[in-house]
Copies of this chain bind each other. A is one copy, B any other.
């Protein structure tokens, strides 16, 4: 049990910042628990007891890092909002560090709790955009439809085929979602 205030909170904060600083300074490969602990002014055993593992610690930090810190911008209509959001999402997530954070988040717990949190972040952002569209009386898809049609393909490419991902791909996914037509034939 992590006590809300006092020493526990201080330790958690200093360890998290130590991880972020060292990730930038020495890179992921050179990162070790003793290194993080020393930078945080803590003993390694403390880190091992609280997080159990370097991977879980990294997963923890990654989830915090992937939390969007701002509401999606309002561009006046659904298509513009979704397109802008998808392009920014792709831009942030497809970078080497973005991919590293995603992979770390995926690894934390085997049942995918941390990864589920990241998915929930994206769903929240989408939901905010769709709610605005409904308020504007626009024809609006469901959140799940956007997740399937835009977020999932973007994430799939980011994780499995990161080479040659252009913002145009995000735009195209949004366009095909909003303008349904017969599937492109081979």
- Is A161 in contact with chain B by the CB < 8 A criterion? yes
A6 within 8 A of B: no
Within A106-151, the residues touching B (CB, 8 Å) are: 106-107, 110-112, 115-116, 118-119, 130, 134, 139-145, 147-149, 151
Interface secondary structure of A, over-half rule? helix
The residue from B100, B145, B151, B184 contacting A110, defined by CB atoms under 8 A apart: B100
Q: Which residues of B contact A156 (CB under 8 A)?
A: 119, 147-148, 151-152, 155-156
Contact A160–B103 (Cβ < 8 Å): no
Per the bound structure, the CA–CA distance linking A129 and B152 in Å amounts to 22
A145 vs B183: C-alpha distance when bound (angstroms): 7
Say whether A41 faces chain B, with CB atoms less than 8 Å apart. Answer: no
Tell me, in angstroms, the Cα distance from A140 to B112 when the chains sit together.
Answer: 35
Q: A142-B183, A147-B156 are in contact. List 11 more A-B contacts (CB 8 A).
A: A103-B106, A106-B160, A111-B162, A112-B161, A140-B185, A141-B183, A142-B184, A144-B184, A145-B183, A147-B153, A177-B183
Interface positions of A (Cβ within 8 A of B): 96, 99-100, 103, 106-107, 110-112, 115-116, 118-119, 130, 134, 139-145, 147-149, 151-153, 155-157, 159-163, 173, 177-178, 180-186
